[in-house]
Amino acid sequence: MKVALIKYNAGNVQSVCYALERLGVEAELTDDPQKISTADRVIFPGQGEASSAMAYLKERNLDQVIRDVKQPFLGVCLGLQLLCTHSEENNTTCLGIFPQLVKRFVPSADGQEKVPHVGWNSIENLVYNPLLKDLPDARHLYYVHSYYATLGEGTLATTHYIQDFTAILHRANYWAIQAHPEKSSTLGEKLLENFLALPST
């Protein structure tokens, strides 16, 4: 199976490569539109800042490449946010695959809930979907983020921090996870495994 990891100015892609290796899949980090559009699976990982990431994608025409992808596509963390319609992070127009908006967490008044949201939190309100098939009992994923996607059409699971936000998203051949499955032990590994096992389109 050919897996393309979209190369752009975002951090933490090496961990995704290693997680796929543990599942027996060799991924290629690439910004070549040809390689991306002919891969069996495309993963859009990343940590970073929304406006500079979008600018980088547009400069290389990768925004259109991402919109044109027909095979199963997985956005992770910033990848999920960039697939939404708009992000409050430097008022950025995103790719618009999902109708969700990306907003900044507002810390709770009592200071109990800090921003960023860092650590293990549970996924809830799961909707039946092949990505969420046969999950282990563990319900916690590892999160590191200051912005979140609102709830809406295509929200497959929610997580609660300050308020409920979208943990996992799906529309057509696009899936996205706000947490870091590559760092989320058994549950994270199962989500990646399920993604790789989705029927090709």
Partner 1 sequence: MLTKRIIPCLDIKDGRTVKGVNFVELRDAGDPVALAKLYSEQGADELVFLDITATVDKRKTLVELVTQVAKEVRIPFTVGGGISSVQDVYALLAAGADKISINSAAVKNPQLIDELAKEFGSQCVVVAIDSRCADGIDWVYTHGGRTATTLQSKAWAKELADRGAGEILLTSMDHDGTKAGFALELTAAISGALPIPVIASGGAGSMLHFKEVFTTGKADAALAASIFHFKEIGIPELKLYLDEEGVVVRK
As annotated, the active-site residues are 77, 180, 182
Q: Which of 94, 191, 175 is nearest to 141 (CA)?
A: 191
Using the rule CB under 8 A, is 12 a contact of partner 1?
yes
Binding mask 39-58 for partner 1 (x = CB under 8 A): --------xxx---------
Burial 41-52 (b: 16+ CB within 10 A, else e): bbbbbbbbbbee
Q: Which of 14, 90, 93, 201 touches partner 1 by CB under 8 A?
A: 14
Instruction: Please give the residues from 144 up to 183 whose contact with partner 1 meets the rule CB under 8 A.
Output: 144-145, 160-161, 180, 182-183
Sign of the Cα torsion 50, 54, 57, 60 reads: negative
Three-class SS state of 100? coil
Using the rule CB under 8 A, is 136 a contact of partner 1?
no
Positions of E strands within the chain = 3-6, 27-30, 41-44, 73-76, 86-87, 92-93, 101-104, 117-122, 140-145, 147-149, 155-161, 163-171, 174-177
Minimum distance from residue 46 beta carbon to partner 1 (Å) = 10
Which residue stretch of 12-20, 26-34, 56-64, 90-98 sits at the interface with partner 1 (rule: CB under 8 A)?
12-20
Cα three-residue angle 154-83-37, rounded to 5 degrees: 105
| Residue among 74 and 97 whose Cβ is closer to partner 1 | 74
Binding mask 95-124 for partner 1 (x = CB under 8 A): ------------x---x-xxxxxxxxxx--
Binding stretches for partner 1 (CB under 8 A): 11-12, 14-15, 18-19, 21-22, 47-49, 107, 111, 113-122, 138, 140, 142-145, 160-161, 180, 182-186, 188-189
